[in-house]
Amino acid sequence: MALRWRDVGYLAAAGRVPWADGDDEIEPRHIAIWQKHPEAVFTVVVGSVFNSRKVYILGGWSEPSDERSGRH
């Protein structure tokens, strides 16, 4: 799965955001990357399950024009 800044409404602050069938945990460092690289795409993985809802975490990121996908 992949997540872009626009997918979370250009979120300005870290926190949990409803996404897919759970919540996505957005950290300050993710916001900082998106501010510098607005088209960055993060990989998304299930981090845990809390109260029957999945908590997704962001992994590595790349830019659509980055031919070396996943280098970050």
pLDDT digits (tens, 9 = 90+) for 32-62: 999 999 999 999 998 888 778 899 999 999 9
Query: Cα dihedral sign for 30, 69, 63, 23?
Result: negative
pTM, to two decimals:
0.81
Say if residue 27's pLDDT is above 90.
yes
Q: Give pLDDT, residue 61.
A: 96
Domain residue ranges in the chain: 2-62
Residue 66's pLDDT is 59
| Phi and psi torsions of 62, nearest 5° | -150, 165
* pLDDT in the model for residue 55: 92
> 13 and 29 in contact (C-beta within 8 Å)?
no
Beta-carbon-side half-sphere exposure of residue 47 (alpha carbons within 13 Å): 14
pLDDT for res 69: 47
Query: How many CA atoms does the CB half-sphere of 22 hold within 13 Å?
Result: 17
